[in-house]
């Protein structure tokens, strides 16, 4: 088991190294850079001033030498200084990650809870009106682009029916503190969370419905019904626990997407979270912040996959022996 973990960890580190090189090369090969995006339209900037700015941001170095300089800095614990925010990338992540983490986790938990309820209800009422309605709504949720749905909710509930704020994280004209500040932030985050939940539950609901139908037709469920167990008892004692087993594996693969799904939503609602900062970095070609953002996501993805591999190896010894 120890050899298997060491092997998977070594492979994960190689993948992370390859991804960092690929991402850095792609960023540097993109047309334009931070300096060009900053001085565009400014006729007062001379050629000498432009070259001085390029050198000050380290953009005059070659791609290969620039990457090795970045990787050396990253290994020492520094991801550089953000061109936009003028502070270390680690500080930008530390200041913005909590808002994104809150939106992502709350949305994810609501998605799972609602999807379990809808998926089981749809399977139990197969080919009935309940099943048809839930299936139709699931398809709409899967098909609806998040940015389009966000704009619709924003127009209806924030502009036409001013029940929620149009944008921002807190009320600008108020100076709330304590519990009032917490409720004000929740009020501002209601629509962003609603957008993510409604556009995400469709795929989970369809998965749970399919899996629940297989469980309902299994031998142990048929036996439980033959013994006179009520329908509610069959669902709670047999169907529900067995539905969670494959769902856990799906959840583990979706953990890395928690930070990417809020990117567009944060941009539309002007919430200054991790996704908002990353989007701004991409627009302005802020190389250090883009690298920090992508490596952060890549690291979470690799760790999630590594943990899943280890858990699968614990559950099935054939995997760590190379036979499964």
Asked if residue 73 and residue 165 are part of one domain, the reply reads: no
Residue 106 lies in a domain: yes
Asked if residue 64 and residue 49 are part of one domain, the reply reads: yes
Q: How far apart are CA 270 and CA 272, in angstroms?
A: 6
Residue 89 lies in a domain: no
Residue 255 lies in a domain: yes
Asked if residue 103 and residue 71 are part of one domain, the reply reads: no
Asked if residue 291 and residue 231 are part of one domain, the reply reads: no
Specify the higher pLDDT residue, 171 or 58: 171
Residue 28 has pLDDT above 70, yes or no: yes
Name the DSSP class of 198. Answer: H
Give the per-residue pLDDT at 324: 45
Asked if residue 213 and residue 298 are part of one domain, the reply reads: no
**242: containing domain:** 99-285
Asked if residue 140 and residue 68 are part of one domain, the reply reads: no
Asked if residue 290 and residue 279 are part of one domain, the reply reads: no
Tokens 């369809």 belong to residue: 206
Give the per-residue pLDDT at 175: 78
Asked if residue 112 and residue 75 are part of one domain, the reply reads: no
Residue 322 has pLDDT above 60, yes or no: no
Asked if residue 305 and residue 156 are part of one domain, the reply reads: no
Residue 202 lies in a domain: yes
Asked if residue 145 and residue 251 are part of one domain, the reply reads: yes
Q: How far apart are CA 196 and CA 292, in angstroms?
A: 24
Residue 319 has pLDDT above 70, yes or no: no
Span 62-84, average pLDDT: 84
Residue 312 has pLDDT above 80, yes or no: no
Asked if residue 119 and residue 201 are part of one domain, the reply reads: yes
Residue 93 lies in a domain: no
Give the per-residue pLDDT at 315: 52
CB 286 within 8 A of CB 83: yes
Specify the higher pLDDT residue, 32 or 299: 299
pLDDT, tens digit, 9 for 90 and up, residues 158-182 = 888 888 888 888 887 777 778 888 8
Residue 22 lies in a domain: yes
Span 68-94, average pLDDT: 86
Q: How far apart are CA 255 and CA 297, in angstroms?
A: 10
Residue 109 has pLDDT above 50, yes or no: yes
From the centroid of its chain, how far is CA 195? 14
Asked if residue 269 and residue 149 are part of one domain, the reply reads: yes
Q: Number of folded domains in the chain? A: 2
Residue 90 lies in a domain: no
Span 84-112, average pLDDT: 89
CATH for 271: 1.10.3720
> Which among 27, 26, 22 has a CA at the least distance from the CA of 37?
27
Verdict on whether the full-model pTM lies above 0.85: no
Span 219-236, average pLDDT: 72
């Amino acid at each position: 088991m120890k050899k298997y973990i060491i092997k998977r960890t070594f492979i994960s580190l190689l993948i992370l190294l390859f991804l960092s090189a690929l991402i850095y090369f792609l960023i540097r090969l993109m047309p334009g850079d931070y300096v060009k995006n900053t001085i565009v339209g400014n006729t007062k900037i001379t050629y000498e001033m432009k070259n001085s700015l390029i050198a000050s941001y380290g953009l005059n170095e070659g791609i290969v030498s620039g990457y090795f300089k970045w990787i050396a800095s990253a290994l020492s614990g520094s991801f550089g200084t953000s061109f936009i925010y003028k502070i270390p990338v680690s500080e930008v992540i530390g200041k913005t990650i909590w808002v994104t983490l809150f939106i992502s986790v709350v949305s994810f938990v609501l998605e799972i809870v609602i999807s379990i309820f809808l998926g089981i209800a749809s399977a139990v009422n197969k080919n009935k009106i309940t099943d048809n309605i839930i299936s139709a709504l699931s398809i709409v949720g899967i098909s609806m682009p998040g940015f389009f749905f966000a704009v619709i909710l924003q127009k209806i509930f924030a502009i036409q029916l001013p029940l929620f704020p149009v944008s921002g994280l807190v009320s600008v004209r108020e100076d709330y503190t304590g519990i009032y500040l917490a409720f004000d932030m929740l009020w501002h985050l209601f629509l962003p969370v609603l957008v993510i939940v409604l556009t995400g539950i469709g795929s989970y609901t369809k998965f749970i419905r399919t899996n629940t139908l297989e469980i309902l037709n299994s031998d142990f469920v048929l036996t439980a019904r033959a013994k006179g167990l009520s329908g509610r008892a069959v669902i709670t004692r047999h169907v529900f626990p067995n539905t969670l087993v494959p769902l856990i594996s799906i959840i583990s693969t979706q953990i890395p997407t928690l930070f990417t799904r809020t990117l567009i939503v944060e941009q539309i609602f002007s919430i200054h979270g991790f996704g908002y900062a990353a989007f701004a970095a991409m627009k302005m070609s802020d190389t250090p912040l883009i690298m920090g953002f992508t490596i952060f996501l890549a690291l979470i993805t690799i760790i999630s996959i590594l943990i899943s591999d280890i858990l699968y190896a614990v559950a099935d010894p054939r995997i760590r022996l190379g036979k499964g």
